[in-house]
Structure 1
Amino acid sequence: MDNTTPGQRRPARASLAAATASVLVLAVFAGLKTFGLLAVGLAGTVMTVAAVWWLLTRRGPSRLFAALLAVGAPVWVVVSYTSAHLAWVVAVAGALWVPALGAGRSALVRADASLRPTEHPAPPVGHAVLIMNPRSGGGKVERFGLREKAESLGARVLLLEGPGETDVSELARKAAAEGADLLGVAGGDGTQALVADVAASLGVPFLVIPAGTRNHFARDLGLDREDPAKALDALRDGVELRVDLGRAGVRPFVNNVSFGAYAEVVQSPAYRGEKTRTTLELLPDLLLGHEGATLTAVAGDTLFTAPQALLVSNNPYGTGDIAGLGRRARLDTAVLGAVGVNVTNAAQAAGLLRGTRATGLTRATATEVVVDADRPSIPAGLDGEALMLPVPVRCTIRPHALRVLVPRHRPGMRTPKPRLEWGRVVRMALPAVRGGRGDASAGAVTPVV
């Protein structure tokens, strides 16, 4: 299915036309002189493009060679054409690359901007109730004055201060029964998920305040994690997003649920304080020496057989992220992402985690993922919280179930300047050559071997 809009296709075609014209100028005028010069022009162009690609995508000694080739190939072409009194041809061909690069990048910027979630007018809020955990994130509630700012905006604040555990879900339901027309949380992703589930079931808006340690959900909503207080701006100048909500059995999740070696990382005492570093340090060895339950999983048409690690996410993560440490481009595609890992040695495990190798990695998207095992219950990491779940674990997604109120202006929604990828430009310019990789329909599979 071609989702490219005319506004994206026009600059893509202009870019492709300018790039083609540049090559033709070299080919036609050099060919009129001599076939040898034609070969120099074409070979120099190919070597320059290949060298630049290597320079951007490789590391180590090969990158130095690519840098030398990226400089040497154009110099070779210029010297050869100048000797044949065709310096003007090189100048024209080079000049054509300016609109080619500019139009190509413009097409990609427009395409990436179109991936932003749809914003809806914010509903009127008369009785907002915000649940805040003063211990979360090392005391962010007090450090950023979240309670004071919320109350100055007319919100009622409930602090989780008791010596024992508080039933957060029940607290949220009670607040709604007493008239709350917005529920919010200042805390970690696990607490966010519990209140989000209540808000979704009651159809009331939900406010995310990133007062936890990592705040992955807030980051993917575009919120400012460095200053949690800015999330409260949604109460006076906000918009509403409709996002999906995951569920593993009876437990909701906003980010992901992990099994196997992933879950063992979450069980580590060091995980809560240094999640990224702990994952990078522990996961390779855990993948190789995994001795826990033997897992199987079904995601749409894809069968995961005995994966050492399995990650099921509320919308798919980027293709370079196998541990749920990166970003999700969207939270409203109505599909779960599933990543299964099978590795045979430590080097392969470490390479997988750092995105340098793809051996043993299988990806799928589906509306339901069912995880089974050779024992009655298995460890799981649900939004970073360690727990045991009875099998089979049925993971599902509730499309657009959650009405999230966010500030109109938030830093994570700035469209970054994309790297120029000619494959994407060609597919946008010529829809007939588009493949199915970008299709997020249920059951779509991207195995990597």
Structure 2
Amino acid sequence: MKRMQIGLIGCGTVGEGVARILLDQQEILKDRLGMEMVLKKVADTDTQRTRSVTFAEGVFTTDASEILEDPEIDVVVEMVGGTGFAKDAILKAMEQGKHVVTANKKLLALEGNSLFAKAFQKNVTIAYEASVGGCMPIIKTLRENLVANRIFAMTGILNGTCNYILTEITRLGLSFEEALEQAKIKGFAEADPTLDIEGCDAAHKLAIISAIAYGMEIDFEGVYVEGISRIEPLDILYADQFGYRIKLLAISKNHGDSIEARVHPAMIPVDCLLSQVGGSVNALSIFGDCTGEMMLYGHGAGMMPTASAVVADLADIARDMKREDGGRLPALGYPSKNIRKIPVLPISEIQTHYYFRISAADQPGVLSRVSGILAKYSISIMSVHQKERHASDAVPLVFMTHRAKEADVRKALGEIRELPEIGCDPVLIRIEDPQANGCAHT
């Protein structure tokens, strides 16, 4: 029976999960693939970590070059993360004619175009299913299952840390800081959660899947990013009263000659399935012209869910090796000659509905002045609500608008902020149209 020999670089949380599956599931993998998957070497500099796997003598090393320079190793699994050593290791592996599996969404979002070009040049595969959505087969779905579809839009919850925090604020009325601390205690947030709570992690993932969906180069710099650190329980309370939930959404829309790609908090109706995705779970709604609406749902992170996706990539490479058919599937789902540059619309050009909360002095004429400014910029008010005071003499004025252009909204809020009756910066939260974004309803 043919064997595929694997070198694993990085045996942290997910790397340990990969090793566990390869060692514990040997028989089922052999039965399904008709090939033996052999974990020949594992490299990690941390020799003090307690791991749930026991390696045979000579398998574990602190020197990654033992993997990269071993001619018998067919596939390198990169589980180090980051953009420094990980990039160098992947490039060296490809130079040696080795296939690569990675879950490194940051590296792919920033350097994926050049890495995929190198893989094509060397006739090797970079597999990266685990980089987006953990155990959810988002990459495979977009590249293979939806190959006959023009993708119109994708809307998703792609960061479990943010989803957990917003869920707990909604459920228990916690402050952002309290919910973040709880997420750290439960292991859903890193000691430094900046990449998660400021939206960068979700933006990395959105840049990757937008490229696959639309046949374009990865353009992380074009993705608008806004995190959840400014979301207050008061706005979550008002959203609930109006029939909405606040989620950190990753949104991508195909306009043909341009796309939208943005990550930010948004209000979505409570009868939208995405609004009911709670805790640390992820979900992605995809709208195709043939399939219509479909949704993927599952654990977007964690040792075993992510490791499962890594091993699925290894299985695909094994099947290709068995048929001597490497490079069967292009990295972004399109032949490299068909990958285009498609401009990403700046956030100023998008149009959607808006929620504003303005803290105003309780004086006659304030509402009319604010309404006049909104009218000046052609922003049509759908409803306005004067809410009860909260811990100050100021009165919260809450506006819900019809569709408006972001640039006009920013100008209007800039003028409103300068009114002497306005106590602090207005709060802006976008309201997403489920029909336009492909969000199914219950």
TM-score, with structure 2 as normaliser: 0.28
Larger Rg: 1
**TM-score, reference length from structure 1:** 0.27
